[in-house]
Amino acid sequence: MIELENVAYSYGGGELLTDMTLSVPPGSFHFLTGPSGSGKTTFLKLCYGALQATSGHVRLFDRDVRGLSRDDVALMRRKIGVVHQDCQFLDHLPVTENVALPLAVSGQDVADNEADLKELMAWVGLTARADAVPPELSGGERQRAALARAVIMSPDVILADEPTGNIDWDMSQRLLMLLVELNRMGKTVLVATHDLGLIRAAKAQVQTRVLRISNRRLQVAGADL
């Protein structure tokens, strides 16, 4: 589903990531950890085509990202739900419209998906906040709205970048449960985090594989996690 083969990424003359090889099979749950600035966000961006590897090959759904046009990358992203640490919303639109944005940009009629949208808003516990605009939401509400937006197209893969970075423990557990639930529904989940408590909590719920970026390289983390 996501494959990296000897991938390296350089920026500004320095190599940020090197010799990365990884295969993420369908239905798996991966954590990616490492210290701040180790390149977790860059790694995730390589995984959804927002960045191009300097060398090596990134294959998404068996297609090499390097050969894809911008439109092809856009189509690919509709199969990958992304949750950013800073969420990235259109601040002038209500939460419901932000959550429904992937439907709108893919040409689907939001009205036809009204029931699914309501169900999704209830699933992430935001029914009462549906008409609020993103700046009015708390950190946890923003993360849950971002997760709802990431899954509304029923993507095969969920990529989350520090989804619990700005929220309290209870809220991060609630978000984790949503990710675990998605994984149990057969979705592939890859979460970048430096929150080891979150990883331990997940391991108690679902089979996970933990990767670590250390010294610009990708390693499988040990049993200490």
Q: How far is the CB of 110 from other proteins (least distance, A)?
A: 7
Q: How far is the CB of 87 from other proteins (least distance, A)?
A: 9
Residue 113 as a binder of other proteins (CB under 8 A): the answer is no
Residue of 40, 77, 129, 212 interacting with other proteins (CB under 8 A): 77
**CB half-sphere exposure, 219, CA atoms < 13 A:** 11
Q: How far is the CB of 131 from other proteins (least distance, A)?
A: 14
Q: How far apart are CA 30 and CA 128, in angstroms?
A: 32
Structure tokens at 24: 């993420």
Q: Please report, for residues 11, 22, 49, 68, 121, the alpha-carbon distance to residue 54 in angstroms, rounded to integers and kept in the order given.
A: 9, 16, 13, 15, 39
Part in contact with other proteins (CB under 8 A); list of ranges 93-101, 167-175, 189-197, 206-214:
93-101
Beta strands in the chain (DSSP E): 2-11, 14-24, 29-33, 55-60, 63-64, 80-83, 157-161, 188-192, 209-214, 217-220
Residue 65 as a binder of other proteins (CB under 8 A): the answer is no
Q: How far apart are CA 21 and CA 121, in angstroms?
A: 37
Of 34 and 134, the one with the shorter C-beta distance to other proteins is 134
Footprint (CB under 8 A) of other proteins, residues 149-188: 149, 153
Q: Please report, for residues 94, 163, 174, 224, the alpha-carbon distance to residue 141 in angstroms, rounded to integers and kept in the order given.
A: 13, 11, 11, 32
Residue 71 as a binder of other proteins (CB under 8 A): the answer is yes
Q: How far is the CB of 20 from other proteins (least distance, A)?
A: 22
Of 18 and 188, the one with the shorter C-beta distance to other proteins is 188
Q: How far is the CB of 136 from other proteins (least distance, A)?
A: 16
Residue 70 as a binder of other proteins (CB under 8 A): the answer is yes
The DSSP 8-state label assigned to residue 127 in this structure reads G
The end-to-end CA distance of the chain, in Å, is 25
Q: How far is the CB of 159 from other proteins (least distance, A)?
A: 11
Number of chain positions touching other proteins (CB under 8 A): 25
Residue 66 as a binder of other proteins (CB under 8 A): the answer is no
Residue 194 sits at the vertex; the CA angle it makes with 189 and 200, to the nearest 5 degrees, is 65
From the CB of residue 52, how many other CB atoms can be counted at a distance below 10 Å? 13
Part in contact with other proteins (CB under 8 A); list of ranges 7-15, 78-86, 122-130, 188-196:
78-86
- Three-class secondary structure of residue 12 per DSSP: coil
- Residues at the site binding other proteins, with contacts judged by CB under 8 A: 50, 70-71, 74-78, 82, 84, 88-93, 97, 101-102, 104-106, 110, 149, 153
